[in-house]
Amino acid sequence: MAVQSKFNVGPWKVQGKVDYQKLISEFKVRAVDSKIKLRLQRIVGTPHLFFRRDVVFAHRDLDLILDDYESGRGFFLYTGRAPSMGMHVGHLLPFFITKWFQDKFKVNVYIQIADDEKFLSGKNYSLNDIRKFSYENILDIIAIGFDPDKTFIFQDSEFVAHLYPLALRIGKSLNLSQLRSVFGFVGSTNAGLLAYPLLQIAAAMLEKRRCLIPAGIDQDPYWRLQRDIADELGFYKAAQLHLKFLAPLTGIEGKMSSSKPEGAIYLTDGPKEVKRKIMKYAFSGGQPTLDLQRKLGGDPDVDVSFSWLSFLFEPDDQTLGRIRQEYRSGKILSGELKDMLIARLNDFLSVHRSRRDDAKSLVNTFKATGELSAKALTTIHE
């Protein structure tokens, strides 16, 4: 069941100020502690920034993934996206960390484009519209830089035949009460959405090895069900890395969402639009007047620009520490904090745009068509 206290985290809605510590106990996941970070460091060197900044804040079975790696059995990665008109910066977080794991451990990555889920859970878009979004979103995903030889991007409405035999077995092992209690389905939920989880769960069992899934914590209900039935079907329980949400510009509550444009920076936003949105909407922890800001300082803990810098846009720990301290003391003003974010975001987006252009010629290389996927699947099941 989605957590229902002051905040709410579920696959189709995230509301309120998320208390991540509380989620750890309610979702029965484990905090990413210094012990597991040190182990990761011993194996691959400095962990990704998201570990240092606690953006990856919880996990299940990361220790078993590392055991499997060290014993030579190996593992695979899986993540996904329900395609919408435009991807925003927050959507990239799980893809960044997935790529990092692929680079470090040289493993296969499967990326599910859940056009079916978007069609069934969203409003007003035809399946054709969503297929167009899928293409655009795939460009953004390829632009992250995955290894073309080890990455399979598949779109459910095309690839379903390859997942269906597994989905049928999963479907037989789960009942309506389980789906209801995990997803909160009610009498008016459409029948398509009732069945969709079988496909998201199936992709966690594409290889006879343990799967590691980096994703926002809102996706957890799927993984809880996968773990309930994995043994019975002869697969490993999937491991997860749970990420925090990048806040919407409008305040540190909920998650940045494509359906709320004033809170989101889309990957296709140009420099002027980025500046306009941040100047207009980015919630500030500063004081109402310049004098008061100089005297009392700002509050970085509620300031969205600071939060985005600390998630990923200021990778240097010392610089971030200095910004925090100077903002608190009143030396830096809210406008200056916004300027820093605008500059870094625009740098990032300009590189992304050019990589996205290059991705157009790579779609066929990455996309698992029936034939390609059949080849990949035979290899991996051998």
Select the residue interacting with ligand TYM from 98, 102, 108, 112 (CB under 6 A).
Answer: 112
Q: Report in angstroms how near the CB of residue 103 gets to ligand TYM at its nearest.
A: 19
Select the residue interacting with ligand TYM from 10, 75, 79, 115 (CB under 6 A).
Answer: 79
Per the CB < 8 A criterion, the answer to whether 171 and 201 are in contact is no
Per the CB < 8 A criterion, the answer to whether 116 and 292 are in contact is no
Q: What is the CA radius of gyration of the chain?
A: 21
Give how far the C-alpha of residue 277 lies from the chain's centroid of Cα atoms, to the nearest Å: 23
Using CB under 6 A as the binding rule, whether residue 211 contacts ligand TYM is answered as no
Using CB under 6 A as the binding rule, whether residue 219 contacts ligand TYM is answered as yes
Strands 210-216 and 239-243: parallel
Q: Sign of dihedral through CA atoms 49, 50, 52, 55?
A: positive
Select the residue interacting with ligand TYM from 94, 221, 263, 285 (CB under 6 A).
Answer: 94
Select the residue interacting with ligand TYM from 48, 59, 60, 81 (CB under 6 A).
Answer: 81
User: Which range binds ligand TYM by CB under 6 A, 58-66, 174-182, 211-219, 270-278?
Assistant: 211-219
Q: Report in angstroms how near the CB of residue 163 gets to ligand TYM at its nearest.
A: 11
Vertex 184, ends 181 and 190: CA angle to 5°? 120
Select the residue interacting with ligand TYM from 130, 182, 243, 274 (CB under 6 A).
Answer: 243
Name the residue type at position 199: L
As a whole number of angstroms, the distance between CA 229 and CA 235 comes to 9
User: Which range binds ligand TYM by CB under 6 A, 40-48, 209-217, 325-333, 347-355?
Assistant: 209-217
Q: Report in angstroms how near the CB of residue 328 gets to ligand TYM at its nearest.
A: 25
Classify each residue of 75-108 as buried b or exposed e, where b means 16 or more C-beta atoms within 10 Å of its C-beta.
bbbbbbbbbbbbbbbbbbbbbbbbbbbbeebebb
Using CB under 6 A as the binding rule, whether residue 263 contacts ligand TYM is answered as no
Using CB under 6 A as the binding rule, whether residue 117 contacts ligand TYM is answered as yes
Residues that bind ligand TYM (CB under 6 A): 11, 78-82, 90-91, 93-94, 112, 114, 117, 200, 213, 215-216, 218-219, 243, 245-246, 255-256
